[in-house]
Structure 1
Amino acid sequence: MSNADTTNADVEAPSRSILRSARRVCVKAGTSVVANENGRPSLTRLGAIAEQIAELNSSGVEVIFVSSGAVGMGKRLLRKQGRMLMSFRDMNNGDHVASTDDVDDAAIHNSKNVQRNTSFATLLDVNAPPHTLAQKKKFYDSACAAAGQFEMMNLYSSLFNQCDVAASQILVTQSDFADPTRLNNLKYSIERLLSLGIVPIINENDAVSANLGYTADDVFSDNDSLAALCARSFDAEVLLLLTDVEGVYDQPPTQPGAKKLDLYLQATSEVAIGAKSAQGRGGMASKIDAATSAVAPGSKCTACVVASGADLNAIRAVLGPVNKYGSKGTLFCTPKSPLELQAMKDLEAESEVGHCISDEARQKAVAARTEARKLQALPHTVRQNILKAMADSLLNRKEELLAANALDLEAAERDGIASVLKKRLKLTDEKLQTLADGLRQLAELPDPLGVIKSKRELADGMELSLITVPIGVLMIIFESRPDSMPQISALSIASGNGLLLKGGKEAAQSNAAIYKVLGDAIEAGSNGTIKRDIIALITNRGQVSDMLALDDVIDLVIPRGSNALVSYIKANTKIPVLGHADGVCHVYVDASASGHAAARIAVDAKTDYPSACNAMETLLVHKDTITNGVAAQTMMALRASGVKCLGGPKAMKLGLCDIPAKELKCEYGDLTCMVEVVDNMDEAIDWIHTHGSGHTESIVCSEDSEAGEEFLRRVDAACVFKNASTRFADGFRFGLGAEVGISTGRIHARGPVGVEGLLTTKWQLRSSDVNVVAEFTSGEKSFTHKDIL
């Protein structure tokens, strides 16, 4: 599905919504966020941070950014220059120590027989008086900071420039805050920068301060406390501390049963502190201290959130203008403030709702299983009658459905939902007719249950059969598309499964109306034998995670939505998950293809439904199509249809496109595609396997070309086509009646998932006489193992 979809289907807690109204915020990125474990900067996380800060900046939010990482970058830089080996002779009984990435006490005391190169003294004054080991380490860090600060700012400057945002560097020491005159100068500089839309990037001037002699009376002791100090001193309303965990836990997050706190209450929250990050100077204790300091009474900063910097949407989730990503991190509030009181109410409400959601989901899943087992025991004609009644109801009560859908569309317009999502959300006469046709097609298919897949004689009088049966209870989580519900429900009924549905809030009215119509049809079509409980719709506000924990009553989860939704579900449940994360589909135009065929297929694959997961996202053209005019004809047809064509490296070099693509693998979800030139089919297939998502791939070639069959044979994807649009990758078009989704996995179903994808098997053993294993072990009886079917 399109990345334009969102993952959150629930109403945000008021206390979290309030944070989005902040006009000045402070964001701090710790060393574990800025750098990878090897000490190198994480371009992925830093790029995401720069992009999100730029979004806030462009929306009128003033952002102060506090960043760690200079020391780590400096260590890497010095090591690269060959000046990282140091000797600590006579510091510990004459042992010699070489520093690598970290120079801590344990490393210095435990290393033996290390090559001497540049002594520690060469980084300092060789005639300086002796210092403690801890002091020498801090002097060494100062040298690293001096080397790394320039590289870090160069990197930030490049990243922010890419986002059309100006950034500036401000290095501070404790004296800048302790001395009133210097503090006033600093405040003036910050105010001027923010007023001009410039993002100040603040870091401790380690090269000067050396971080010596921290005590409880120090102004700040690490970048967490520096960020808190900046938030208070520069009147930020919200502080966001990005760290290496998802928030504050009641015990170390690696411990079994560790629970993340949504709200930290200074008077009552109990937290067991674990080990510090291997890279940063601070730890969770320092973050808690910094957060409570930031929101201390008298500060304009009334909220602080500790969240994971590994979450590439963390800043958007906490501070962005719209709630699309759910609640993140742990919230700290000024004690006894209106915000804390509201947060406590929200926490209590969430606890009650969460309890209800879990109980409701469990009760409904059990009821769905009960009704499904009843349905499974009834003749196929009962399921057929239900499906036909459902098809009729969609058309007979379409005015009711369209009226409910209109309410959702009005809300979407009011909330400023993207046009792509509104198109997915909208129900029409044509969509309802297509749905009804699909359901009737499904009803006419042979009974999928009880089909004998194999039959074997084990021994005289013993017959073993493998037959198809329902999986059990399915949980489908879908976003934006109310037309998904009839398809999913019909497939579930046809396969004899129970169903638990969780839809997005943007389609709440439509989903409720469709559920009522389908429920009535189930009971009418079965003459009351099957209750509507066989399909359950969860509508209460609550988190998807509540349902993902029901692995004892739910047998399969099928997410229909964005990459983020699918990835989240896979990472947060023990229930098997069937689905796909990306829909990056290719059309390859072979040298033998005609311009007419290539243009028709490419235009249809891109424009028929641009936001669908089976729409073409990349057009690959053989180099010979440049000279024979096929590429030009195809490009002209795409552009005439309103498609924006971005160029890959070769396409740009050959002048086929004017605008370069930023990513070689991207699901655009709109009238945009990438175009690239390949030398031959081998290169095309390699490209597809490298940058595709295993969804649907198509080749355009002449009918008599051998390339088509070779492409079909060699390309590894769920669907591979010859001379056909990628848009044919659909359950209805495949004659499956409908689809519950598309799977790109290799286990169980693959491609459009129809009824067969919702079935499993069971073995049945029939014995005409009493048989026991002891008779075969003793040799009294023997196995024949003859295949009958």
Structure 2
Amino acid sequence: MSSAPDKEPPSRAALRRARRVCVKAGTSVVANENGSPSLTRLGAIAEQIAELCNSGVEVIFVSSGSVGMGKRLLRKQRQTLMSFKDMQLQSENGKDEDDTVGLHDHADHHEPVPLNRSPNRASFVNLLDIQERPHSMAQKKRFYDSACAAAGQFEMMNLYSNLFAQCDASASQILVTQADFADPVRRNNLHYAIERLLSLGIIPIINENDAVSANLGYTADDVFSDNDSLAALCARTFDAEVLLLLTDVEGVFDRPPSESGAKKLEFYRPESSEVAIGAKSAQGRGGMSSKIGSAISAVQPGSNCSACIVASGADLNSIRAVFGSDPKTKYSCGTLFVTPGSKLEAQATKDFPEEAETQANISSEARDQASAARAEARKLQALPYEVRQSILSAVADALIERQKELLDANTLDVEAAEKDGIALVLKKRLKLTEAKLATLAAGLRQIAGLPDPLGVVKSKRELADGLVLSQISVPIGVLMIIFESRPDSMPQISALALASGNGLLLKGGKEAVKSNAAIHRVIGDAIEAGSGGKIKRDIIGLVTSRGQVADLLTLDDTIDLVIPRGSNALVSYIKANTRIPVLGHADGVCHVYVDESADKDAACKIAVDAKTDYPSACNAMETLLLHKATIENGVASSVLMALRAAGVKCLGGPIAMKMGLCDSPAQELKCEYGDLTCMVEIVEGLDEAVDWIHQYGSGHTETIVCAKDSPVGEEFLKRVDAACVFKNASNRFADGFRFGLGAEVGISTGRIHARGPVGVEGLLTTKWQLRSDGVDYVGEFGGESPTKAYTHKELM
């Protein structure tokens, strides 16, 4: 926990000058765990907001809680409904001969009412039946939440009305959906209504109209997915100067507050403040990641909202601490977010040097590790190739000899991932096995057996008599590999870096932290043992600080190449946020095209292997293209049957759906499913298949299945523009080990430098060496009377 500074920082004092603010209370603040309203917290919120209004501050209040309160009401109602249904069953079984039920406790009259004539009987029974209909779990949840919102909204607003009235303040209810912000006319009307209410001193209480919107999970720009993002949107739209997000913790911590040593951040810097997010509240839709994203959104450049505070709603003085005229000792309340590049940011950086120093240390740590890796790499380059081979062999042996240590550490990561509900695709990539370690070791030995890749002469040319120019292969320098959920990436990348004489900086995802640490330790021991102590383990650095990837991406003066290994989102983010060259691919949307000449068995084997051998791999088939003629000759039906028998879900493209080949339509024509799902589409022939691949593919790996002697195969190989193009071979062959490269740092879909699986060759660059038998200078080759002449003779 951080302690309050000795005096109020100017950046916090500036918040008290705001004349229009937005306050958001989350479900965990508004309601207790059982859904009942927290009268203590709500009373404190109403009192503090009323104080602000009386001091001339305009307050917009965004409140969660209607769903939580509604759940409590519906639970009570469900118990009543179930009792009615039980009585109905008793009546139908003849246990209630007069077909009546005493409703003295539930109705205004005192006479028994026949169940079959009760005016509410049908609606009660129908409500119960709805819950038993075969809707999806997501649909059931939306239906239930909508009903909860409708029931709870009335209770919540009735409570607010009474609380504000006791404080001599007036409030009004405004329920909104995404359309109220997306549609210009509705947005203008909403803006006018808010302005009128504020001008009259009335507090607008804003909430999502869940009963209408059904919580569909909006993701487009300028709409919201929960009340955190709604509050940020309101702050921007209605020109609030400061946004206060009240939650169930004291602010943003560098790790879950429940963990030992967790530290609250006084000042959050989006470009460098990484936090580890714990489990979200059991109530509501948001979480700390949602609040961080919403806070950053609220203070984005161009918004009138210059600051946001994430603070605890359990602190009954938090609103006073942020906005009140008498801060007393609570001015360190919450975590401050400010607009990047603003004067307030400059002031906050001065006010909270501890945070600034922490972030500087992250860069410093990575910079020091990169410098150490470069120094050791230069030492390694000067040693005989046999030393690098010995190191690689030692690492391969260590992976097998110490596999229990590695697998035990990995088991802890997998168990934590399962507890956190990590995506299935990421979990598959996270898991290590004895088979994976054996494959890795074999790959490392394969690399060790390759010829020395350094000092290879690429070209040699005589410039003049006795003056010879050579171009040779050399390491790139220091590589930074950023990977998520792939601990098996580390041995591969390390081996390739060592073989090519490069230094290496590794940044793994938090979901594999124990696996990464164990692998790094084993490799480091092997490096020092295999080199006889000549090379230190520092040649491979593992960044373990909580600094964001964004901080590492600024080290363009220290790191020479970034290679991301992970999701589309990770790779895209890295490419967009660094000046360091990036080698990699964002998407793995690969196709298998089955030509009309294809053999049925061959098509089935290749399609099934390409999809099911490792569905989450980037080279797995995501789209199956079938020549129209394969429907008539039976190949299409055989391939689809084989895929379905292997557990693959086949979604139909537009033509495939029209022809009845699939039951469910694909929602996207370009999609990397990463599981046992693929899309199927029909094309007229090669031309249409190639056009489709170029439009919806990602330039990764494309395959044609055709007759061995069909010219269409060679035409496909020539015309398809992708890193890897295959004929009658599974997409899964697009791999460094299978290509004989020993391993790969990744697959590149770029056109500059390496392309396809990147092995040792992809981690090399060149330098020029010029040798003179005597003394040569340019002046001898120019002027009116040159004494020497260029020959430019190729020597190899």
User: What TM-score bracket applies, with the shorter chain setting the length?
Assistant: 0.5 to 0.7
Q: For 1:648, which of 649, 653, 668 is the aligned residue?
A: 653
| Alignment check: 8 A CA contact 1:245 1:307 kept | no
Residue aligned with 1:517, SS: helix
Any conservation in 2 of the 1:647–1:658 contact (CA below 8 Å)?
yes
| Equivalent in the alignment of 2:239 | 286
**Equivalent residue, structure 2, for 1:429:** 434
Shifted more, 429-438 versus 775-784: the winner is 775-784
Equivalence for 1:783:
790
* 1:62–1:391 CA distance, 2 compared to 1 (3 A): farther
Name the CA distance, whole Å, in 1 between partners of 2:568 and 2:290.
12
TM-superposed CA distance for 1:407, in Å, is: 1.2
SS of alignment partner, residue 559 of structure 1: strand
Counterpart CA distance in 2 for 1:19 and 1:534 is 48
**Contact 2:394–2:526, Cα closer than 8 Å, also in 1:** yes
| Contact 1:350 1:542 (8 Å CA) reproduced | no
User: TM-score of the superposition, structure 1-length normalised?
Assistant: 0.65
> In the aligned structure 1, how far is the partner of 2:689 from the partner of 2:219?
41
1:480 matched to 2:479: no
Does residue 700 (structure 1) correspond to residue 705 (structure 2)? The answer is yes
The unaligned stretches of length 5 or more in structure 1 are 1-17, 25-55, 64-159, 171-175, 235-239, 247-279, 309-315
Query: Secondary structure of 1:499's match?
Result: strand
Contiguous gaps of at least 5 residues in structure 2:
1-24, 32-63, 72-137, 151-156, 212-216, 224-232, 253-266, 271-278, 297-307, 312-317, 323-329, 338-347
Q: Which residue does the alignment assign to 1:377?
A: 382
Q: CA, structure 1 residues 631+242, in 2 after alignment: closer, same or farther (shift >3 Å)?
A: closer
The answer for the alignment partner of 1:151 in structure 2 is none
1:513 and 2:548 are equivalent in the alignment: no
The alignment's TM-score, normalised by the length of structure 2, stands at 0.65
Question: Which position in structure 2 is the counterpart of 1:611?
Answer: 616
Instruction: Provide the residue aligned with 1:405 in structure 2.
Output: 410
Instruction: Name the CA distance, whole Å, in 2 between partners of 1:636 and 1:788.
Output: 59
Cα gap change, 1:379/1:742 in structure 2, threshold over 3 Å: closer, same or farther? Answer: same
Percent identity between the two aligned chains: 60
User: In the alignment, which residue of structure 2 is the partner of 1:74?
Assistant: none
Q: What aligned pairs does 1:88-487 form with structure 2 within 5 A after superposition?
A: 211=192, 218=199, 286-289=239-242, 291=243, 327-328=292-293, 329-330=295-296, 331-332=308-309, 333=311, 334-335=318-319, 336=321, 341-343=333-335, 351-487=356-492
Q: Which one has more relative contact order, counting CA pairs under 8 Å at least 6 apart?
A: 1
Provide the C-alpha distance between the structure 2 equivalents of 1:659 and 1:524, rounded to a whole number of angstroms: 57
Shift of residue 410, structure 1, vs aligned partner: 1.7
Q: Structure 2: how far apart are the matches of 1:686 and 1:501?
A: 39
Residues 413 and 244 (structure 1), Cα distance of their counterparts in 2 relative to 1, 3 Å cut:
closer
Could you report, residue by residue, the CA deviation over 1:389-446 in whole angstroms, capped at 9, with x for unpaired residues? 0000000111111111111122112222223222211111111100000000000000
- 2:642 aligned to which of 629, 637, 644: 637
1:218 alignment partner AA:
S
Following superposition, the deviation at residue 287 of structure 1 comes to 3.7
Is the partner of 1:341 in helix, strand or coil?
coil
1:581 matched to 2:586? The reply is: yes
Out of 768, 774, 778, which is 2:773 matched to?
768
In structure 2, relative to structure 1, the CA distance for the partners of 1:533 and 1:61 (3 Å cut) is farther
What is the match of residue 312 of structure 1?
A: none
Look up the equivalent residue of 1:288 and give its one-letter code.
Answer: E
Secondary structure class of the residue paired with 1:674: strand
> Using the alignment, how far apart are the partners of 1:59 and 1:484 within structure 2?
44
Post-superposition CA distance 1:175-226 (Å, at most 9, x none): x99x989x99x99987xx9xxxx968656967879949969961599xxx96
8 A contact 2:235–2:241 mirrored in 1: no
Amino acid aligned to 2:704 = I
AA of the residue aligned to 1:360: E
Partners of 1:728 and 1:321 in 2: CA distance: 42
Q: Post-superposition shift, 1:283?
A: 6.3
AA in 2 matched with 1:502: K
Quote the Cα distance in structure 1 between the aligned partners of 2:67 and 2:683: 41
User: d(CA) in 2 for partners of 1:741 and 1:21?
Assistant: 44
How far apart, CA to CA, are the structure 2 residues paired with 1:742 and 1:352? 37
Q: Distance in 2 between matches of 1:749 and 1:396?
A: 34
Does structure 1 conserve the Cα–Cα contact (< 8 Å) formed by 2:625 and 2:682?
Answer: yes
Using a 3 Å threshold, how does the CA distance of structure 1 residues 399 and 450 change in structure 2: closer, same or farther? same
SS in 2 for 1:761: strand
Amino acid at match of 1:765: L
CA displacement at 1:357 relative to structure 2: 1.4
Distance 2:428 2:730 in 1: 21
Over the residues paired in the alignment, what is the CA RMSD in angstroms? 4.7
The 2-side partners of 1:208 and 1:512 are apart by: 56
Shift of 1:355: 2.3
Report how many residues are paired: 581
TM-aligned CA distance change 1:438 to 1:361, over 3 Å? same
Q: Secondary structure at the match of 2:791?
A: coil
Map Cα deviations across residues 301-357 of structure 1 (whole Å, 9 max, x no partner): 99999999xxxxxxx999866777994343424443799635369987754542221
Separation of aligned partners in 1, 2:728 and 2:554: 44
SS of equivalent residue, structure 1 residue 621: strand
- State the secondary structure of the residue aligned to 1:780: coil
Inter-partner Cα distance in structure 2 for 1:600 and 1:339: 68
User: CA distance change for structure 1 residues 652 and 397 in 2, over 3 Å: closer, same or farther?
Assistant: same
Evaluate the alpha carbon distance shift between residue 287 and residue 590 of structure 1 in structure 2; reply closer, same or farther with a 3 A threshold. Answer: farther
Match of 1:639, SS? Answer: helix
1:572 deviates by 1.1
Per-residue CA deviation, residues 252-271 of structure 1 (Å, 9 max, x unaligned), is: xxxxxxxxxxxxxxxxxxxx
- Rounded Cα–Cα distance in structure 1 between residues aligned with 2:558 and 2:391: 25
Which 10-residue stretch deviates more, 209-218 or 708-717? 209-218
Instruction: Please give the alpha-carbon distance, in whole angstroms, between the structure 1 residues aligned to 2:657 and 2:682.
Output: 9
- Residues 490-505 of structure 1 aligned to structure 2 (within 5 Å): 490-505=495-510
Q: 1:210 to 1:615 in 2, by over 3 A?
A: closer
Using the alignment, how far apart are the partners of 1:375 and 1:230 within structure 2?
63
Paired with 1:562 and 1:57, the residues of 2 have a C-alpha distance of 35
Label 1:322 to 1:734 Cα distance change in 2 as closer, same or farther (>3 A): farther
